[in-house]
Structure 1
Amino acid sequence: MKAKLTATASLMAGALALSACGGNTSSGTAGGGDAAGLDGRGPITYVQGKDNSNVVRPLIEKWNAAHPDEKVTLKEQTDQPDQQHDDLVQHFQAKDPNYDVMSVDLVWTAEFAAKGWLQPLKDKMAIDTTGILPSIVEGASYKDTLYTAPQHSDGGILYYRKDLVPTPPKTWAEMREMCSIAKANNIGCFAGQYKQYEGLTVNASEAINSAGGSVLDKDGKPSLNTPEAKEGLGNLVKAFTDGSIPKEAITYQEEEGRRAFQDGNLLFHRNWPYLYNLATTEGSSKVKDVLGMTALPGKDGPGASSLGGHNVGVSVYSKNKATALDFLKFMTSEETQRFYATQGSLAPVLGNLYEDQKLVAKLPYLPVLKTSIENAVPRPVTPFYPAVTQAIQENSYAALKGEKSAEQALSDMQKSIETAGAGS
Structure 2
Amino acid sequence: MTEPSGGDQMLEGLEMAHAGRENRRTFLAAGLLCPLAAALPGCRGDASAPSGEAETLPEVGLPAPAVPGADEARRHAGGRLTYYAESVGIGGAIDRALCGRFTADTGISVNVVMRPRDSTETYATYQRLFQARSPDVDVVTLDVIWPGTFAAHLVDLKPALGTAAAAHLEALVQNDTVEGRLVAMPWFTDFGMLYYRTDLLQKYGYGGPPTTWDELGQMAERIQAGERPSSRVFQGFVWQGKAYEGLTCNALEWVRSHGGGNLLEGRTPTVNNPEAARALARARSWIRAISPVGVTGYEEEDSRNVFQGGNAAFLRSWPYVYSAASAEGSRVKGRFDVAPMPHEPGQPSVATAGGWQLGVSTYTRHEGAATALVGYLSSPEVQRFRALAGGYIPTLQAVQRDPAVVRKLPFLERMAGATLVARPSSDAGPRYNEISIAFYQGVSKALHGTAPEEALEQIAQRMQRALR
TM-score > 0.5 by shorter chain: yes
Equivalent of 2:211 in 153, 167, 170: 170
Matched, 1:196 2:243: yes
Equivalent of 1:260 in 306, 320, 324: 306
The separation in 2 between residues aligned to 1:385 and 1:202, in whole angstroms, is 13
What is the root-mean-square deviation in Å for CA atoms of aligned residues?
2.5
The separation in 2 between residues aligned to 1:49 and 1:235, in whole angstroms, is 38
1:322 is displaced (CA, Å) by: 2.8
SS at match of 1:107: coil
Are the counterparts in 2 of residues 277 and 344 from structure 1 also a CA contact under 8 Å?
Answer: no
Q: Could you list the runs of 5+ residues in structure 2 that have no partner in the other structure?
A: 5-15, 21-74, 203-207
The separation in 1 between residues aligned to 2:409 and 2:223, in whole angstroms, is 28
Are the counterparts in 1 of residues 133 and 363 from structure 2 also a CA contact under 8 Å?
Answer: yes
The separation in 2 between residues aligned to 1:256 and 1:100, in whole angstroms, is 37
Matched, 1:138 2:138: no
Are the counterparts in 1 of residues 17 and 355 from structure 2 also a CA contact under 8 Å?
Answer: no
> Which residue number corresponds to residue 286 of structure 1?
331
Are the counterparts in 2 of residues 101 and 312 from structure 1 also a CA contact under 8 Å?
Answer: yes
1:267 is displaced (CA, Å) by: 1.3
The separation in 2 between residues aligned to 1:171 and 1:215, in whole angstroms, is 20
> Which residue number corresponds to residue 71 of structure 1?
110
The separation in 2 between residues aligned to 1:386 and 1:50, in whole angstroms, is 23
1:321 is displaced (CA, Å) by: 2.6
Equivalent of 1:239 in 277, 283, 286: 286
String of CA shifts for 1:333-384, please: whole Å, max 9, x gaps: 2222123333443321111233333332332211233433xx1221123212
Q: How many correspondences in the alignment? A: 382
CA spacing shift, 1:72–1:258, aligned 2, 3 Å: farther
The separation in 1 between residues aligned to 2:403 and 2:458, in whole angstroms, is 48
Are the counterparts in 2 of residues 41 and 322 from structure 1 also a CA contact under 8 Å?
Answer: no
> Which residue number corresponds to residue 393 of structure 1?
440
Are the counterparts in 2 of residues 46 and 72 from structure 1 also a CA contact under 8 Å?
Answer: yes
The separation in 2 between residues aligned to 1:65 and 1:377, in whole angstroms, is 34
Equivalent of 2:420 in 376, 379, 391: 376
Matched, 1:103 2:141: yes
1:168 is displaced (CA, Å) by: 0.2
Are the counterparts in 2 of residues 188 and 246 from structure 1 also a CA contact under 8 Å?
Answer: yes
Which 4+ runs in 1 deviate beyond 4 A? 38-41, 124-127
Q: How does 1:37-48 map to 2 (within 5 A)?
A: 42-47=79-84
The separation in 1 between residues aligned to 2:219 and 2:445, in whole angstroms, is 27
The separation in 2 between residues aligned to 1:98 and 1:244, in whole angstroms, is 52
1:217 is displaced (CA, Å) by: 4.5
1:205 is displaced (CA, Å) by: 1.2
The separation in 2 between residues aligned to 1:133 and 1:112, in whole angstroms, is 21
The separation in 1 between residues aligned to 2:125 and 2:341, in whole angstroms, is 32
CA spacing shift, 1:62–1:97, aligned 2, 3 Å: same
TM-score (norm 1): 0.82
1:125 is displaced (CA, Å) by: 6.7
> Which residue number corresponds to residue 297 of structure 1?
342
CA spacing shift, 1:163–1:73, aligned 2, 3 Å: same
SS at match of 2:399: helix
> Percent of pairs identical after alignment?
30
1:299 is displaced (CA, Å) by: 0.7
> Which residue number corresponds to residue 270 of structure 1?
316
CA spacing shift, 1:342–1:125, aligned 2, 3 Å: closer
1:259 is displaced (CA, Å) by: 2.6
The separation in 1 between residues aligned to 2:239 and 2:121, in whole angstroms, is 21
Are the counterparts in 2 of residues 295 and 302 from structure 1 also a CA contact under 8 Å?
Answer: no
Matched, 1:248 2:294: yes
CA spacing shift, 1:131–1:88, aligned 2, 3 Å: same
CA spacing shift, 1:315–1:363, aligned 2, 3 Å: same
The separation in 1 between residues aligned to 2:85 and 2:324, in whole angstroms, is 20
TM-score (norm 2): 0.75
The separation in 1 between residues aligned to 2:321 and 2:95, in whole angstroms, is 21
CA spacing shift, 1:83–1:399, aligned 2, 3 Å: farther
Equivalent of 1:207 in 235, 254, 264: 254
Equivalent of 1:362 in 387, 392, 408: 408
